[in-house]
Chain A
Amino acid sequence: MANKIPRVPVREQDPKVRATNFEEVCYGYNVEEAQLEATRCLHCKNPRCVAACPVSVKIPNFIAQVAAGNFAAAASVIAEDSSLPAICGRVCPQETQCEGSCILGVKGEPVAIGKLERFVADWSRENGGVKPEIAPSNGHKIAVIGSGPAGLACASDLAKLGYDVTIFEALHRPGGVLEYGIPEFRLPKDKVVAAEIESVKALGVKIETNVIAGRTVTIDSLLDEEGFAAVFVGSGAGLPKFMGIPGENLNGVFSANEFLTRNNLMKAYREDYMTPIHAGKKVVVVGGGNVAMDAARTALRLGAHTTIVYRRTEMELPARREEVHHAKEEGIEFAMLTNPVEIIGDEKGWVKAVKCIRMELGEPDESGRRSPVAVPGSEFEIETETVIMSLGTSPNPLIARTTAGLETNRRGCLVADENGATTREGVFAGGDAVTGAATVILAMGAGRKAAAAIDQYVKSKN
């Protein structure tokens, strides 16, 4: 029967120390801690955690294997449903998914499913990995656009089914948001991301970097000239949004995408890389999502006193709870119910302050969140050298514009049904390109569904 002990805490780098380095914050469980935590699982007959997981990992089954010390078997259970467990264990919003639906969470702390998944994935990687079953080659070529979570998940499933899969990546390193967006201290690039990508390649998936769909190649040229039977578009979220307030093009105002890409993909924080980055002594980050937390914690590590400005209250912050908690521990200031109205520059055109207005919560909007309303006359200035806008993204129109018959919706996202089929035959899509900015795991789920639909489509054609 389940062990009625409190949730086993996970060891982390000291906040004061980690605020000055880019090493991973969380150390993860060791063998003893993982086995102990695994004993807390109730093994519900109707496991709500599995239903709450976008890729339906058989959570109680893998946890049972952990408790029994069969870590390789646990890894095999996870591998049936997830191709990127070391990543998901680190970045999934478990509190709203698996852990959020854990029965133990009703009266106490849910099982640390994310930390256990991470433990199993890390153990497996360090001990030879999972050898998945790959069907014999069926001779059909599939093109995948984008090597982020959606593309990697789709490519893995198709490769296991015997397809000859090529991923086309626009940047110089594969991984998409895992590489350019999520910082090293949350998701180590060489140890975790590159290793998981290697395991996808080990399935026979080819990755061509520096290929931009819609420019270097087109969807049509892939289908008509290069002999691909179908294309999956997992091109990601797209163009950063700005507020449209005065002063946004001053020197020292950046999108979170630019700031994070310089630091993560282009390794600006490392002495041995040439990439420049500008943080200065004071940074203001506008927004309340995971990306805002990542940008703020990156700026802090580059030596800046950092303030997050968000127009609602802490309750409404869309970021993972763990990220908010970590950001606070590290000394990031939170200015809630605050909204920028203007960025003020010096005589040389560099940022010197952000003029903000205080907000209060009004009536709930369509999303159910109470919408913030400006308090008249409450303007004040925050001195800063850098402003980072983290307000979400709008879809990149490039693929839709260069592919006949591919429809987009009002927001510019690709139109796709629940299995990823777009309005163009043979073209499937999933992830942020379809939903707008969401999470790694939702993108993976969409990639997996599309893989199944592509398999059906190709079979129906032959």
Chain B
Amino acid sequence: MYEIITKEMLTPTICRMKVYAPRLAASALPGQFLIVRATESGERIPLTISDYDKEAGTVTIVTQQIGASSSEIISFEEGESFKDVVGPLGIPSDFTEMQEEELKAQRYIFIAGGVGTAPVYPQVKWLHERGIAVDVIVGAKTKDLVIYKEEMEDVCDNLYLCTDDGSAGFKGLVTAMLEKLVNEDGKKYTQAVAIGPMIMMKFATLTAKKLELPIIVSLNTLMVDGTGMCGACRVTVAGKTRFACVEGPEFNGYDVDFDEAMRRQGMYKSEEVEANEHHKCRIGRGK
């Protein structure tokens, strides 16, 4: 069933795959995610949808190798099939529901960090296709880890690249770039959207708050079913417990308790490292 149509390594550890899942592709919208279970013994791994093609019936996922489960996903080759792919899950981005006039009045700045650049892409593309001007800040540790540069350039008005070591673009953090754009370059934005590591979203939110800029973040919490049944994804938003899978994954950044979210994200860290040592690789699975 869920065949991998194309696979490419964007960096030595970040992999892009186009997967055949026609029902999912037909209903996917920007901001939503899906769940992959690569093999019978695998975990259910939530991944943000990085693109979708309704005609071809495919969805694109971008996975970074972190633990045993992401390694397992990346070990699949073109022509092989994942055991399960389910979605789209979560509520689509707010702008997909906006009226044209409301949307035309918006000036978006996206802040993408690391592998989080991939899910920013369909959002920027969606807005671009509707004639909305969008700026994007992409941050990475170093030049070789920058992904989606060309794709993003095709769909955004201005792309601002930042690397920690200055090997490409601006040397510094995405938050410094955001501050520079607003305070020095006089850019006027109505809405920021940050997607990336939790720590980056936390600091992007703090900066946006300082700049009095509304900010939306996309939370990549732990999940099992992704349909609201388990509650593993709960986060505190504006003092209330919310389920990121069905009430998110996008929330108003000002309201999110990032410290709790980061702590909860690491809940199975020790188990995950152990699993990676146990499993390593499953070459020859199912053949």
Task: Report which A residues bind B (CB closer than 8 A).
Answer: 170-172, 180, 209-212, 215-217, 236, 238-240, 242, 244, 248-249, 251-252, 254-255, 257-258, 261-262, 266-267, 272-278, 348-349, 396-398
Contacts and interface: CB of A to CB of B under 8 A. Distances in A.
A258 to B, nearest CB: 4
Contacts of A210: 84-86
Interface in B223-242: 224-225, 227-232, 234-236, 241
A238 B13 CA distance: 37
Given A210-B86, A216-B88, A217-B23, A251 B230 contact: no
Interface string B87-109: 11100000000000000000000
B224 A262 contact: yes
B36 to A, nearest CB: 10
A240 B41 contact: no
A238 B229 contact: yes
B23 A274 contact: no
B279 interface: yes
B180 interface: no
B125 interface: no
Interface stretch (B3-11, B143-151, B166-174, B263-271): B263-271
A171 B236 CA distance: 26
Contacts of B230: 240, 255, 257-258, 261
B69 interface: yes
Contacts of A278: 267-268, 271
Contacts of A252: 267
Contact of A249 (B89, B234, B271): B234
Interface of B: 23-24, 27, 37, 41-44, 68-69, 72, 83-89, 224-225, 227-232, 234-236, 241, 243, 246, 260, 263-264, 266-268, 271-272, 275, 279
Contact of A238 (B44, B69, B228, B260): B228
A257 B84 contact: no
Given A172-B83, A242-B241, A248-B241, A215 B231 contact: no
Contacts of A216: 23-24, 27, 86-88
A370 to B, nearest CB: 30
A257 B272 contact: no
Contact of A257 (B43, B87, B231, B264): B231
A276 B85 contact: no
B246 A274 contact: no
Interface SS, B side: mixed
Nearest to A251: B267
Contacts of B271: 276-278
Contact of A251 (B37, B42, B68, B264): B264
Given A172-B37, A276-B268, A278-B267, A261 B85 contact: no
B23 A266 contact: no
B263 A257 contact: no
Given A258-B224, A274-B69, A278-B271, A240 B88 contact: no
Contacts of B224: 258, 261-262, 266
Contact of A242 (B37, B231, B272): B231
B269 to A, nearest CB: 9
Contacts of B235: 249
A258 B231 contact: yes
B86 A170 contact: yes
B274 to A, nearest CB: 8
Q: Which of B42, B85, B225, B243 has the most CB of A within 10 A?
A: B225
Given A171-B86, A251-B266, 19 more contacts: A172-B44, A172-B86, A210-B86, A212-B86, A216-B23, A240-B230, A242-B234, A244-B241, A248-B241, A249-B236, A249-B264, A251-B263, A261-B229, A266-B44, A275-B43, A349-B260, A396-B229, A398-B227, A398-B246
17 contacts: A170-B225, A172-B37, A210-B86, A211-B23, A212-B89, A216-B24, A216-B87, A248-B241, A249-B234, A254-B231, A254-B232, A266-B224, A273-B41, A274-B279, A277-B271, A278-B267, A349-B263
A278 B41 CA distance: 18
Contacts of B246: 239, 396-398
Contacts of B267: 251-252, 278
Contacts of A276: 43, 268, 271-272, 275
Given A211-B23, A215-B27, A249 B241 contact: yes
A381 B84 CA distance: 43
B281 to A, nearest CB: 13
Contacts of A272: 41
A177 to B, nearest CB: 10
B249 to A, nearest CB: 13
A148 B31 CA distance: 30
Contacts of B87: 212, 215-216
Nearest to B37: A172
Nearest to B72: A274
A349 B42 CA distance: 28
A133 B111 CA distance: 62
Contacts of A261: 224-225, 229-230
A215 B26 CA distance: 10
A349 B267 CA distance: 10
Q: Which of A210, A248, A349 has the most CB of B within 10 A?
A: A210
Given A273-B41, A275-B43, A278-B268, A215 B89 contact: yes
Given A349-B263, A398-B246, A257 B229 contact: yes
Contacts of B89: 212, 215
A276 B228 CA distance: 19
A45 to B, nearest CB: 46
Contacts of B44: 172, 266
Nearest to A248: B241
Nearest to A170: B227
- Those 10 A-B pairs whose CB atoms lie nearest each other, nearest first: A276-B271, A258-B230, A210-B86, A255-B231, A276-B268, A172-B84, A349-B263, A273-B41, A240-B231, A239-B228
Q: Which of A172, A238, A248, A267 has the most CB of B within 10 A?
A: A172
B232 to A, nearest CB: 5
Contacts of B268: 276, 278
Contacts of B243: 239
B42 A274 contact: yes
A193 B87 CA distance: 25
Contacts of A215: 27, 87-89
B43 A266 contact: yes
Q: Which of B229, B234, B271, B275 has the most CB of A within 10 A?
A: B229
Nearest to A216: B23
